[in-house]
Structure 1
Amino acid sequence: MAIQRATIEDSQMIYDIAQAAFQPSLWPKSVFEHELTSPRSHYFVTSGGFIGVTQILDEVDIGSLAVHPNRQKQGIAQALLAHVLDMPGVVRFLLEVDEANENAMRLYEKMGFVAYYRREKYYKNGHAAIMMERKM
């Protein structure tokens, strides 16, 4: 599976995948466009999915990971996550996940993440956010 660094030209594809995966997207297209031009943000894309991260020194915050519903259950999310986990010089990866997203939580645990905090009523739907980390 070919994974490449996203450019501003990929913003529409990223937005379309987010729209389909999150129904509707949690962010307007302008957020993706801004992050794609930020020196701290990195997006990686493959056919049907993307992952967006922000790196500050030796920590990486995984802000978004999405796979189009038509492409789910094909290993795309795992491949994107593995690609990010190979970033050199990173000692800690962070993310948050909706408590109801059991598939994502299973994937993150499989990839070495552990829950360290719960933010009650974090999302608009009233669900808690489970904060997870992976230390290298």
Structure 2
Amino acid sequence: MNIKLATIEDSQQIFEIAEAAFSPSPWPKSLFEHELTSPRSHYFIADGGFVGVTQILDEVEVGSIAVHPNSQRQGLAFQLLTRVFTLSHAQRFLLEVDESNEAAIHLYEKLGFSAYYRREKYYKNGHAAIMMERKV
């Protein structure tokens, strides 16, 4: 599987993956375009999926991850996140996940993340956000 660092030219593909995965995308295309030009943001893309992160010093926050429905359950999210773990100087990885997304929570725990906080009624659907971290 070829995972590459995304560029601004990949913004349309990233948006299309997010649209297919979430129907509609929770992120506008303009957000991807902005982040793809930011020195603190990194996007990794593969056929059928992407992950976007922001790195400040030794802390990396996963802001977005999506896998096209046709590519789900094939280990792509696992591989994308594993690639994120190779960012230099990173000592702590953070993310948030909807409490009802059991598959994602299971994946994150498999990758060494653990819950450290719960934000009640965080999402528009009324669900809580589970804040998770992975320390190196």
On whether the aligned pair clears a TM of 0.5, the verdict is yes
Distance 2:22 2:61 in 1: 19
Which residue of structure 2 lines up, in the alignment, with residue 102 of structure 1? 102
TM-score scaled by structure 1? 0.99
CA deviation digits over 1:8-47, x for unaligned, max 9?
0000000000011111100110010000000100000000
Distance 2:134 2:6 in 1: 24
Which residue of structure 2 lines up, in the alignment, with residue 9 of structure 1? 9
Which blocks of at least 5 consecutive residues in structure 1 are unaligned? none
Give the SS at the match of 2:73: coil
Residue 82 of structure 1 and its aligned partner are, at CA, apart by: 0.4
CA deviation digits over 1:54-103, x for unaligned, max 9?
00000000001110011101110000000001222111000000001100
Which residue of structure 2 lines up, in the alignment, with residue 52 of structure 1? 52
**Matched length:** 136
Distance 2:43 2:86 in 1: 14
Which blocks of at least 5 consecutive residues in structure 2 are unaligned? none
Which residue of structure 2 lines up, in the alignment, with residue 31 of structure 1? 31
Q: Residue 99 of structure 1 aligns to which amino acid in structure 2?
A: E
| 1:121 matched to 2:124 | no
Distance 1:21 1:32 in 2: 15
Distance 1:58 1:104 in 2: 24
Distance 2:23 2:100 in 1: 15
Spell out the pairing of 1:14-93 with structure 2 (5 A cutoff): 14-93=14-93
Q: Residue 38 of structure 1 aligns to which amino acid in structure 2?
A: S
Q: Residue 135 of structure 1 aligns to which amino acid in structure 2?
A: K
Q: Residue 88 of structure 2 aligns to which amino acid in structure 1?
A: P
TM-score scaled by structure 2? 0.99
Q: Which runs of 4+ in 1 moved over 4 A?
A: none
